[in-house]
Amino acid sequence: MTAFALSTEQAEFAERVRSLAADRLRPLAERGAPGRVNRELLAELGELGLLRRLFSGTDQPTDAAAMDLCLLRESLARESTEAETALALQGLGSYPVLQSGGAELVQRWIPAVAAGSAVAGFALSEPGAGSDAAALELAAKPDGDGWRLYGEKTWISNAPEADFYTVFARTTEGAGARGVSAFAVPADRAGLSGEHLDMLSPHPIGTLRFDGVPVTRADLLGELDRGFRVAMRTLDLFRPSVGAFAVGMAQAALDATVAHTREREAFGAPLAELQTVAHTLAEMATRTEAARLLVYAAAGAYDSGNRQIAKSSAMAKLHATETAQFVVDSAVQLHGARALRRGHLLEHLYREVRAPRIYEGASEVQRSIIARQLG
């Protein structure tokens, strides 16, 4: 057994999640409107207890387990990318509240997120601040004992349909990352509006506009001017799990391609018996397994209490997302034109697989993180 082999309990959990995704979640996902929050799907994720696993599966959640999150995302992605994304966006939007919010904020939002009855959003990116998140300009201007938010966020998960957002705003001008604060902002606050964005993949993504949205110290997550730390702690946890999402997609594409090439005949024999096809399948399988091991290693490091995991998280996300792009593209090539028909599994995965190389730190950003850690 290798250092990164799953335990029997973990393997059984992953298989159980796949079964639930196929039998109970995929039908709900297929009934949902593309690009919109699927509250029926979220409610079922809550009913099945999968959202609670984002918070260690305890009655009084105190932290999130990286390996649990990775197993959830990989297993769901193999059967339903919509279910995977619904779960992941709930975690991304709510984890800053769990890790840095006061007791009242945690009690208000986390049980409802775990039940699938409240929808969370993570509002970091802006039109002029994507990969360079420290350059954000959403202004938090002092107003009595609190602040008013002015500006715009874009590429925001579950916007504009979420019930609350974790919002990162500039509370001190000219201070870079040290002048950013994080707030939990209910969607019904005056001055907050937004609209959907029509994306290549069918995710609920949108823009948010803040026209004097009031926030108070009770809404503050963590310390004033230390919100960038809140964002990075969240991304340190979720970056490996983005890799797990990618591994799940790669495995789904590989499974479909192995089955197809064994059944499809060309030049008098199954495609899988052609050396060029067999070698491509071997490369797809090897890269997928290597990506999976990097993801598990990063998750294991996080769960063991090692918070100096920037390099391993970056490696996991980088390699897994780039691998998934290669595997899905190779799968399309081996399937031929049928894979390009609307509604085919690989047509769906081909649209889904592109975004993870960009969000939560583009591949180029991950390479820079890794390079800085090599000294």
172: in domain: yes
CA atoms within 13 A on the CB side of 191: 13
pLDDT band at 267 (very low <50, low <70, confident <90, very high): confident
71: in domain: yes
pLDDT band at 59 (very low <50, low <70, confident <90, very high): very low
* Range with the poorest average pLDDT among 94-108, 151-165, 294-308: 294-308
Tell whether 335 and 219 lie within a shared domain. Answer: no
364: in domain: yes
What burial class does residue 275 get, using C-beta atoms within 10 Å of its C-beta: 0-12 exposed, 13-18 middle, 19+ buried? Answer: exposed
The CATH number given to whatever domain includes residue 113 is 1.10.540.10
* Range with the poorest average pLDDT among 55-69, 168-182, 210-224: 55-69
pLDDT band at 233 (very low <50, low <70, confident <90, very high): confident
The CATH number given to whatever domain includes residue 177 is 2.40.110.10
Considering the chain, what is the average pLDDT of its residues?
A: 93
Give me the pLDDT at residue 22, please.
97
Give me the pLDDT at residue 83, please.
97
Is 360 labeled as catalytic in the residue annotation? yes
Please tell me the distance from the alpha carbon of residue 162 to that of residue 145, in angstroms, as a whole number: 26
Judged against a pLDDT cut of 80, whether residue 133 lies above it is answered with: no
pLDDT tens-digit map of 120-130: 999 999 998 87
Residues 88, 245 contacting (CB under 8 angstroms): yes
- The whole model's pTM is what? 0.93
363: in domain: yes
215: in domain: yes
Tell whether 302 and 217 lie within a shared domain. Answer: no
Tell whether 287 and 178 lie within a shared domain. Answer: no
202: in domain: yes
1: in domain: no
Tell whether 73 and 170 lie within a shared domain. Answer: no
* End position of a domain, from candidates 74, 93, 119: 119
Mean pLDDT (whole number) for 125-147: 89
* End position of a domain, from candidates 212, 228, 244: 228
Tell me how many domains the chain contains.
3
The CATH number given to whatever domain includes residue 234 is 1.20.140.10
Judged against a pLDDT cut of 60, whether residue 303 lies above it is answered with: yes
Judged against a pLDDT cut of 80, whether residue 61 lies above it is answered with: no
Tell whether 151 and 238 lie within a shared domain. Answer: no
By residue range, what is the domain housing residue 158? 121-228
Give me the pLDDT at residue 310, please.
87
Tell whether 141 and 197 lie within a shared domain. Answer: yes
Judged against a pLDDT cut of 50, whether residue 58 lies above it is answered with: no
* End position of a domain, from candidates 180, 209, 228: 228
pLDDT tens-digit map of 313-364: 999 999 999 999 999 999 999 999 999 999 999 999 999 999 999 998 899 9
Residues 23, 14 contacting (CB under 8 angstroms): no
State what percent of residues in the chain have pLDDT above 70. 96
Please tell me the distance from the alpha carbon of residue 116 to that of residue 87, in angstroms, as a whole number: 9
pLDDT band at 2 (very low <50, low <70, confident <90, very high): very low
Judged against a pLDDT cut of 70, whether residue 95 lies above it is answered with: yes
Tell whether 112 and 128 lie within a shared domain. Answer: no
pLDDT band at 266 (very low <50, low <70, confident <90, very high): confident
Tell whether 309 and 233 lie within a shared domain. Answer: yes
State what percent of residues in the chain have pLDDT above 90. 83
Say which of 44, 82, 322, 360 is annotated catalytic: 360
Judged against a pLDDT cut of 60, whether residue 84 lies above it is answered with: yes
Tell whether 235 and 366 lie within a shared domain. Answer: yes
Tell whether 43 and 93 lie within a shared domain. Answer: yes
Residues 167, 139 contacting (CB under 8 angstroms): no
Mean pLDDT (whole number) for 44-62: 75
Tell whether 40 and 134 lie within a shared domain. Answer: no
Which conformational region is residue 221 in: left (phi greater than 0), alpha (psi within -120 to 50 degrees), or beta?
A: beta
Give me the pLDDT at residue 56, please.
62
Give me the pLDDT at residue 307, please.
66
Tell whether 97 and 133 lie within a shared domain. Answer: no
Mean pLDDT (whole number) for 30-53: 96
354: in domain: yes
